[in-house]
């Protein structure tokens, strides 16, 4: 049985099928957190920040500092961006990166968030599924 081992020839052959759009090593993004919406790339960073970046140019639209790592992908509904962070907060930002509200969950969020019918559903480790109002983060 032959072992699998990539060769430089294979890598070079594959490069003809992809195009590098831009590169920025300072982002230190979390690949698990990536979301593309309306020509923007949203992602969390290991530098405890959440970013919105122009997909075509790589220019930062906004960066929002959090207390820990925003690990999961955000949920974007109309002009609001919802995401969780390992600082035990769920954040709601406006489209310009301004804080609309944040809510402490008391424990880590287990996965991404889901928005439906003016509610944001938050799976909280050890505490079940929460539902809060999307406009102000108040309990449903």
Strand partners, 99: 93
Instruction: Give long-range contacts, CB 8 A cutoff, 24+ apart: 20-24.
Output: 21/55, 21/56, 21/58, 22/57, 22/58, 23/58, 24/58
pTM score, two decimals?
Answer: 0.85
For 20, list phi and psi in degrees, rounded to 5.
-75, 120
**Could you tell me if residue 110 is inside a domain?**
yes
Write down the pLDDT at residue 11.
55
Q: Report mean pLDDT in 10-residue bins for the chain, 140 residues.
A: 51 72 84 93 96 94 96 95 97 98 94 95 94 95
**Could you tell me if residue 65 is inside a domain?**
yes
Write down the pLDDT at residue 82.
98
Write down the pLDDT at residue 73.
96
Q: Report the chain's terminal Cα–Cα distance, integer Å.
A: 58
Total domains present in the chain: 1
**Could you tell me if residue 96 is inside a domain?**
yes
Q: Are 26 and 61 in contact (CB under 8 A)?
A: no
Q: Domain range spanning residue 41? A: 25-133
**Could you tell me if residue 8 is inside a domain?**
no
Residue 40's CATH number: 2.40.128.630
**Could you tell me if residue 18 is inside a domain?**
no
């Amino acid at each position: 049985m032959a072992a699998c081992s990539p060769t430089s020839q294979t890598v070079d052959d594959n490069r003809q099928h992809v195009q590098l759009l831009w590169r920025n090593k300072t982002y230190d993004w979390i690949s698990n957190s990536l979301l593309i919406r309306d020509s923007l790339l949203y992602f969390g960073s290991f530098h405890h920040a959440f970013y919105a970046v122009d997909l075509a140019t790589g220019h930062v639209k906004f960066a929002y500092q959090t207390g820990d790592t925003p690990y999961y992908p955000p949920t974007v509904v109309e002009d609001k961006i919802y995401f969780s962070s390992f600082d035990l907060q769920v954040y709601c930002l406006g489209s310009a990166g301004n804080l609309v509200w944040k809510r402490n969950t008391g424990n880590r969020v287990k996965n991404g968030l889901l928005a439906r019918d003016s509610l944001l559903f938050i799976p909280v480790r050890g505490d079940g599924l929460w539902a809060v109002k999307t406009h102000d983060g108040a309990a449903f």
